[in-house]
Chains A and B, each alone.
Chain A
């Protein structure tokens, strides 16, 4: 069983995927059931916060470089996703990528879930040997 930080990292990636699904459901409620779009705006805040937690936990859990880069990309993509609707007046074609961005976030989220799951399985010592600088052997 991996360290607690890696378990938290794993669950944070699942939380991100769940938050994206919820966010998409919120826009569905607005578009097809007459609900207030405020739900979708609130969802955007939650998704952004969770992406930041994922990024932070990637470092705390001492994930490998590749995973940290994907976590960083996830955060950046989330920020971009939030900015796209604002371009509707000036760059409508770019703004039209907003729904595609949701697919991308979902896909990257799932990728991180897989990476975090692998990391959570690894004993901390074994993975440390691979990622941390080698310590001088004790006598």
Chain B
């Protein structure tokens, strides 16, 4: 497996990992609201999700993805950072703007699905074109 193909697979795996983290994070708020779990579970894990979004961005650059893919990875980090900001508003007192915290979770989810679909396309492109990060094969004289 070529270097580029492997890097793209790693990118795909980080995207899947991020999606799983988002689902777990949403479940943690469910545990807080419906099962009496501590709020620190959701709050603490939120920082891990933010860190993971940064890993996705780094993976996009390491994999040498097209600009469009890097922009989507950057957008993922951006909306995740926004989510942390809105959480700060949410935990600091009644605030209608803080009501956007759960709405932004839907946006994070949608951007994650977009990044994931793009990552799958990038892996497919690298495997079907035989791209292994080396120079293109020269046409052999017959």
Contact = CB atoms under 8 A, between A and B. Distances in A.
Q: Do A and B come from one complex?
A: yes
Interface string B89-121: 110001110111111011001100100000000
A29 B30 contact: no
B141 interface: no
Interface stretch (B3-11, B31-39, B60-68): B31-39
Nearest to B87: A32
B27 interface: yes
A106 to B, nearest CB: 5
- Tell me the interface secondary structure of chain B in the complex: helix
A24 B102 CA distance: 6
Interface in A90-119: 92-93, 95-100, 102-103, 106-107, 110
A110 to B, nearest CB: 7
A13 B27 CA distance: 26
A21 B98 CA distance: 15
Contacts, number: 87
B35 to A, nearest CB: 4
A103 B106 contact: yes
Given A20-B106, A28-B102, A106-B109, A100 B96 contact: no
B51 interface: no
A33 B102 contact: no
A97 B106 contact: no
A102 B25 CA distance: 13
Contacts of A98: 30, 33-34
Given A21-B106, A33-B94, A99-B26, A92 B99 contact: no
Interface in A63-110: 85, 88, 92-93, 95-100, 102-103, 106-107, 110
Interface of B: 22-23, 26-27, 29-31, 33-37, 89-90, 94-96, 98-103, 105-106, 109-110, 113
Interface of A: 20-21, 24-25, 27-29, 31-35, 85, 88, 92-93, 95-100, 102-103, 106-107, 110
25 contacts: A24-B102, A24-B105, A25-B103, A28-B99, A28-B100, A28-B102, A28-B103, A29-B99, A31-B90, A31-B99, A31-B102, A32-B90, A32-B95, A32-B99, A33-B95, A33-B98, A92-B34, A95-B30, A95-B35, A96-B30, A97-B27, A97-B30, A98-B30, A99-B102, A110-B113
Closest 8 CB pairs of A and B: A28-B99, A96-B30, A92-B35, A32-B98, A95-B34, A99-B30, A33-B96, A29-B99
